[in-house]
Amino acid sequence: MKLARLIEYLISKRSVLAVLLLVSMAALVLVDIILPPAYTRFTWDAIGGFAAFFGFAACAALIFFSRFLGEKLLYRDEDYYDDHE
Amino acid sequence: MITSDWLHPSLVLIAGTLVLPLLKGRAMQAWMVLLPLAVLGTLWMAQPGEHGQMAFLGMELVTGRVDELAMVFGWVFGTVLLIGAIYALHVNDRVQHVAAFLYGASALGVVFAGDLITLYVFWELMVITSVWLIWRRKTEVSFNAGFRYLVIHAVGGVVLLAGIILFQFETGTTRFEQIDVDGPAFWLILAAFMINAAVPPLHAWLTDAYPEATVTGAVFLSALTTKTAVYTLIRGYPGTEMLVWMGAAMTLYGVTFAMLSNDIRRLLAYHIVSQVGYMVTGVGLGTALALSGSASHAFTHILYKALLFMGAGAVIHMTGRSRLSELGGLYRYMPWTFVLYLIGGVSISAFPLFSGYVSKTMIVEAAAIDQRAVIWLMLVVASAGTFLSTTLKLPYKTWLGGDSGLQPREAPWNMLLAMGIAAALCFLIGIFPGMLYALLPGAVDFNAYTMSVFLKEMQVLLFTGLAFCLLLKYVGGGPKISLDVDWLYRRGGPRLVGAVGSAIITTDRAIRRTTLEHLARLTAHVEKKHGRDGKLAKSWPIGSMALWTAIVLAMLLTVGVYRG
Amino acid sequence: MTITELMPFSVLVPLIASLVCALLPGRFWPWAVTLVAVIVSAVIAAFTLPAAAQVTLSYAFGNWPPPIGIEYRVDAANAFVALLVAGMAAVALPWAKKSVDKEVPERQGAFYALFLLALSGLLGITLSGDAFNIFVFLEISSLATYGLIAHGSDRRALLASFRYLIMGTVGATFLLIGIGFLYIMTGTLNLADLAERLPEVRDTSTVRAALAFIIVGMGLKLAMLPLHLWLPNAYTYAPSFVTVFLAGTATKVALYVMLRFVFTVFAPDWSFVVLPLSTVLMILGVAGMFAGSWVAMFQPNIKRMLAYSSVAQVGYMVLGVSLVSVIGLSAAFLHLFNHALMKTALFMAVGTVIYQVGSARLKDVRGLGRTMPWTLTAFALAGLSIIGVPLTAGFVSKWYLIQAALDQGQWFLVVLILVTSLMAVIYIWRVIEAAWFQERSIKQPDVGEAPLALLIPTWILVALNFYFGIDTRLTVGGATAAAEALLGGGMTP
Amino acid sequence: MRENGILRVVARFLIPLIMLFGLYIQFHGEYSPGGGFQAGIVFAAGWILFALIYGLDAALKVIPERAMYVLMVAGVILYCAVGIAGVVLGGHFLDFYPLLAGKHAAQQFGIITVEFGVGVTVATVVMLVFTLFARRKSEWKAAKVEDE
């Protein structure tokens, strides 16, 4: 199970990985701000780092919206359909 | 269906499948691998053009129309049949294998059908073969889900047939090109295609039935039905404005409900809805780039979705559990499944270097070129959501996360091999997108690997990941199921019918009671006169028959005699 | 001998053979004689159709020239029906041997004699060109049929037969009254002669009443909706073989007689104007389609379910007629033929189940899909045809029916046809579900697959359902020729 | 009735006359009103009268039930045979002209033979119907006696 050990190793180094990832994310935003926009099709094309912000916001929105939807409206017990079928 | 330069791949597959029940053990396994290879061979030999014409009811059927669009789908169907067959090698249930191959044959038949009648025949065949992949799980739940699946597709089939008949009546032809008529024919055929493409609110059959299918059957199901529908939409309805919005809405609908799912395959099923949404959007946009995007996204989607379903299926196969809330910490025991699943995950999330990236960005780009800001934003939100559920939430809760105490063994070699082939193809297409683009109809003027596309995609994905890590405790889930449109016919319909039914029964009872009371009084009166034997009461049925006869005769006579 | 001179023998051979059969003892010889007679009859009918499609054949009995003598007058329409009747009998007979041995163990000579009488009666109705002769043959076939139904092993068969006898007699009497009225007005009984003489006198209430009587009389025999009440019991309690034979032929012949009178004798431009026939038939047809399918969905007995389904299928045919167009009539004739194919196959499959299990109730079919796969697969495939799935015969006739409806811009009819097809899915499905998805209860005896003697004819019919669903030259050609013969005044010389 | 002397005597006198009259109607049918149907009924009526007076068993000794079946069929077969003979000799079914050389004689021969067939069948069918009903009656009586 060498693969399993590799994964275990990676998990143990997860703070290092996280730092690496955050650095590269910062780099991505920086590059996006520095580079001139390739298109001006939408107004937000000109804003550097818009995609980063939007991705974060979209994810947060989805998490909260779906949670709201589920708890207020859609969630049922797993045996909800059982007694009728 | 056979001419000198054309051998219908469905025919090859059906003929080969007929042999399958006679084989056993190793021979059957070898045959299962050989059959899809033979199909790929016939595809290799297929010459562009129209083949296999037949006359039927005064119409010309074209059973084999080979052009680039059909071949794209032909190739990927052939490939996924091979992968699925390898994945199912260990299964000792001939019914399932036969159903899967016939199902594949009918999907190929739809793709190569040059006219709507042939298409309809294979379309229906697809339903009655695929349902066995659900039923053979042999649980009460899967039987009921399969039955609902069957009923909805039967309705869809009738709608399609009605549309085809009207189409034939209005245009005088049944050739399957762009559906270019106004009126009911247009909408009926579109509705039937949309049912199979699982466009909400007509999607619930998919998310209801696929999670209940057999482990190996789900792989075929995920690949074939919705994608044949995408093919028919590309062929028949390019540039239909409505589809742009429905597609974009689908993408969001799918990811939202996927967030709520606790069953791993239901989660993936909702992502089929979401991913097909991209393709539908592409069809609606209707530009050359968008259509290429839809076709290539269908191609890549089949491979990575099969990979995801195989990964999830391997977990179910080895642990017997399918709920996220009951899984966790499996990476120690099923690391290969984990890694291969992750390749599927990054493919569907459109990470650069993987297959989703080179096809999904094409559709998003086409939306941008069309200056559709809202659509573009919706698609980006959906791609964030895709990454969130399939690549972060599902693997986290299944393989990492809290330890569930399960200690399954790694999946059998044939499952891993099938997943490996699919993963390799996902990776290959991601690195050499030119191979995929070469198959598409028309030249593709698109390069996914530009700085701008790359930057945007990476930012969206990585910051989605950041949000996931930060908001992990808010992520929905838990041992619950969520209602969907299928509630309408699983609970709403029966309730409505029950209410209406009891109303009818009450009224009917009341009416009958009063009528019967009057009748009883009348009979009592007659009985007094006719004595104890009550001849009138005895001969009631014959009397009523005679009464009806008299009524009809009187009606005709009155009209006939007094008219002149 | 030319085909014209041979043609009457498709009626005479079964008639004479029935006399022989009545005297034969035992179980083998009556059946063998019947088989030979039926095959001869069917072969003659098969040769008659192509000849009759070209030119109207006429055969004068005793060489008395019509209209004085009795004449057999055959055009595409009756040749088509005659071939159907004789053909169905020929296909059903090999199946009959085993089933009849089990269900009618005694006095088989009389049983087969009655069968042959019924057959020759039905053929006589179709071929005859003389109105009174039609009535006589109608009575011959009806009386024989009552006897056949009464042979059912269930005691209720007697009651069913009695009820059918009363209603059938009412129907035949109505036909006789109608013919009588026509005779009063024209002084002739020959159909072609009637068609010629009627225009002079047709604006009288007598002739109108005649039309009304004939339509109701034949509507009864045809089991058109409100007049269908005799059919379910008769089909349910008759011996399986009788049901198999009647389902394919009896109602079809009645429909033919109705069409012959309405179209050839009265001429459609009169009969559809004087009475609101088109509307009446359309309403009754649609009502039949719905009521039949609706009731069929809830029947616990498969035979009875199929009987109600027959009421629905008659509805389709009547609907085709009500459209008064060549394509509508073709659809009716096509469905007449195709329905015979599929209903015969279905009743054979059910009869096979009865042979093995002794019952056709749904709960007795539970789990049989595994032990009698061939029988129930045949049922399922023939069921596809009745639903109207493409590549089956049922699809072809529904396709033409829909085309005919569209041709007149009747969209709602298309919707109704599709909806009733869905209802057919439901009632066929109930059998399939019982056979494959339910477990056999422990109390019920285990049975194996049925003998080949029953399976082979059933499967031949199933195969025919698919053959005529793909190669439609014979059926569509024959039906169109028949429709044109009726609409084009094929009887006038 | 069997003990009633008047009836027995009258019947003995009448039955031959009835049968003779039946035969007259039968064979004079082509010249005067009559024919096989009427003749058969009249002939059978004579036999039924005999059965009523002298009992069913005595009547069945004269014409056994099995014979009735055979004769019933034979009559129709005679009819059909004449019809087919016409075909065999080159005419239509029931065409009498080819049967004999002379036209007149041929018609007469044909019609008489055919009518004879009809007469036999009708007579035996009526007798058979009577027999079946009459036997049923005696069976019921027997059953009743057993019950008591």
Q: Do B255 and A62 touch (CB under 8 A)?
A: yes
Measured between CA atoms, how close is B103 to chain A, in angstroms?
28
pLDDT in tens, B537-559: 333 467 777 788 888 888 888 87
Q: Do C63 and D83 touch (CB under 8 A)?
A: no
Q: Are strands B481-482 and A75-76 parallel, antiparallel or unpaired?
A: antiparallel
C191 neighbors C77 (Cβ within 8 angstroms):
no
B7 neighbors B42 (Cβ within 8 angstroms):
yes
Asked whether the predicted pLDDT for residue C14 surpasses 70, the reply is yes
CB interface of A with B, residues 2-41, below 8 Å: 3-4, 6-8, 11, 21-22, 24-25, 28-29, 31-32, 35, 37-39, 41
C482 neighbors C490 (Cβ within 8 angstroms):
no
Compute chain B's Rg from CA coordinates: 28
Over residues D93-114, mean pLDDT: 84
CA atoms within 13 A on the CB side of B507: 5
Over residues C283-303, mean pLDDT: 86
Q: Give the type of residue at C179.
A: I
Percent of chain B with pLDDT over 70: 94
Rounded to whole angstroms, the Cα distance separating B207 from B209 reads 6
Confidence of residue B343 (pLDDT cuts 50, 70, 90): very high
C8 neighbors C82 (Cβ within 8 angstroms):
no
Q: Which helix (H) or strand (E) segment is B56 a member of? A: strand B49-56
Asked whether the predicted pLDDT for residue C298 surpasses 50, the reply is yes
- Comparing A32-36, C412-416, D112-116, the range with the smallest average pLDDT is A32-36
pLDDT in tens, B422-437: 999 999 999 999 889 9
pLDDT in tens, C323-375: 888 888 999 999 999 999 999 999 999 999 999 888 888 888 888 888 888 89
Over residues A20-44, mean pLDDT: 84
pLDDT in tens, B453-483: 888 888 889 998 888 888 888 776 667 777 7
Rounded to whole angstroms, the Cα distance separating B209 from B134 reads 7
Over residues B107-125, mean pLDDT: 92
Which comes out higher in pLDDT, residue C478 or A38?
C478
For the purposes of burial, counting CB atoms within 10 Å of the CB of D132, is it exposed (0-12), middle (13-18) or buried (19 or more)?
Answer: exposed
- The tokens describing B526, both together, are 């007659």
Using a CB-CB cut-off of 8 Å, the residues of chain C touching D70 are 23
Over residues B91-96, mean pLDDT: 88
The pLDDT value recorded for residue B531 is 39
Q: Give the type of residue at C6.
A: L
Over residues A27-39, mean pLDDT: 83
Query: Which residue, among C388, C423, C163, has the nearest Cα to C291 in the 3D structure?
Result: C423
First-to-final CA distance of chain C: 23
Residues of chain C contacting D, Cβ within 8 Å: 5, 8, 12, 15-16, 19-20, 22-23, 59-63
Ordered by start, the domain boundaries in chain A are 2-77
CB-nearest partner of C205 from B117, B120, B561 = B561
Output the CA angle B440-B445-B451, nearest 5 degrees: 120
The alpha carbon torsion through C468, C471, C473, C475 (nearest 10 deg) reads: 10
Range of the domain at B115: 1-237
Q: Please check whether residues B132 and B270 belong to one and the same domain.
A: no
Contacts of B124 (CB under 8 A, 6+ apart): B157, C389, C390
Neighbour subunits, A (≥3 Cβ pairs < 8 A): B
Q: Give the type of residue at C313.
A: Q
The pLDDT value recorded for residue B221 is 94
Rounded to whole angstroms, the Cα distance separating C349 from C372 reads 11
Q: Do C16 and D97 touch (CB under 8 A)?
A: no
Q: Give the type of residue at B169.
A: F
Average pLDDT of chain C? 88
Q: Do D93 and C61 touch (CB under 8 A)?
A: yes
Query: Which residue, among B79, B150, B159, has the nearest Cα to B424 in the 3D structure?
Result: B79
Confidence of residue C493 (pLDDT cuts 50, 70, 90): very low
Asked whether the predicted pLDDT for residue C129 surpasses 70, the reply is yes
Q: How many domains does chain B have?
A: 4
Contacts of C193 (CB under 8 A, 6+ apart): C66, C67, C186
Range of the domain at D78: 5-147
First-to-final CA distance of chain D: 24
Asked whether the predicted pLDDT for residue B183 surpasses 50, the reply is yes
Asked whether the predicted pLDDT for residue B273 surpasses 90, the reply is yes
The pLDDT value recorded for residue B525 is 65
The pLDDT value recorded for residue B528 is 56
Q: Please check whether residues B233 and B246 belong to one and the same domain.
A: no
Q: How many domains does chain D have?
A: 1
Over residues B405-414, mean pLDDT: 87
C126 neighbors C253 (Cβ within 8 angstroms):
yes
Over residues B377-393, mean pLDDT: 90
Asked whether the predicted pLDDT for residue B487 surpasses 80, the reply is no
- The tokens describing C247, both together, are 């389902």
Average pLDDT of chain B? 87
Q: Are strands B481-482 and B2-3 parallel, antiparallel or unpaired?
A: unpaired
The pLDDT value recorded for residue B277 is 95
Distance from chain centroid for Cα B43: 24
The residues that bridge with C74 in the sheet, in sequence order, are C57
State residue C450 phi and psi, 5-degree precision.
-75, 160
Confidence of residue B237 (pLDDT cuts 50, 70, 90): very high
Q: Which helix (H) or strand (E) segment is C215 a member of? A: helix C205-222
C330 neighbors C403 (Cβ within 8 angstroms):
no
Q: Give the type of residue at D48.
A: I
The pLDDT value recorded for residue D148 is 55
Tell me the Ramachandran region of residue B353: left when phi exceeds 0, alpha when psi lies from -120 to 50, beta otherwise. left
The pLDDT value recorded for residue B53 is 84
Q: Do B460 and A58 touch (CB under 8 A)?
A: yes
Compute chain D's Rg from CA coordinates: 19
The pLDDT value recorded for residue B539 is 35
- Map B465-477 to HEC letters: HHHHHHCHHHCCC
The neighbour count for residue B182, using CB atoms within 10 Å, is 8
The pLDDT value recorded for residue C37 is 94
First-to-final CA distance of chain B: 60
Q: DSSP letter string over C217-273?
A: HHHHHHT-GGG-TTHHHHHHHS-HHHHHHHHHHHHHHHHHHHHIIIIIIS-HHHHHH
Q: DSSP letter string over chain A?
A: -HHHHHHHHHHHTHHHHHHHHHHHHHHHHHHHHHSPPS--SSGGGGSTTHHHHHHHHHHHHHHHHHHHHIIIIIEE-TTTTGGG-
Rounded to whole angstroms, the Cα distance separating B317 from B419 reads 14
CB-nearest partner of B564 from C205, C219, C414 = C205
Residues of chain B contacting C, Cβ within 8 Å: 56-57, 117, 120-121, 124, 143, 154-155, 158, 161-162, 165-166, 169, 184, 541-542, 544-546, 548-549, 551-553, 555-557, 559-561, 563-564
Over residues B205-234, mean pLDDT: 93
Q: DSSP letter string over chain D?
A: -TT-HHHHHHHHHHHHHHHHHHHHHHHTTTTSS--HHHHHHHHHHHHHHHHHHH-HHHHHHHS-HHHHHHHHHHHHHHHHHHHHHHHHTTS-TT--TTTSSSHHHHHHHHHHHHHHHHHHHHHHHHHHHHHHHHHHHHHHHHHHHHH-
Asked whether the predicted pLDDT for residue D47 surpasses 90, the reply is yes
D54 neighbors D12 (Cβ within 8 angstroms):
no
CA atoms within 13 A on the CB side of C144: 28
Measured between CA atoms, how close is A16 to chain B, in angstroms?
15
Q: Do D95 and C19 touch (CB under 8 A)?
A: no
CB interface of C with B, residues 371-410, below 8 Å: 389-391, 396, 399, 402-403, 406
Over residues B147-163, mean pLDDT: 88
CA atoms within 13 A on the CB side of C138: 31
Confidence of residue C403 (pLDDT cuts 50, 70, 90): confident
Percent of chain C with pLDDT over 70: 99
Q: Do D92 and C23 touch (CB under 8 A)?
A: no
Q: Do B466 and A25 touch (CB under 8 A)?
A: yes
- Report the SS3 class of residue B65: strand
The pLDDT value recorded for residue B360 is 92
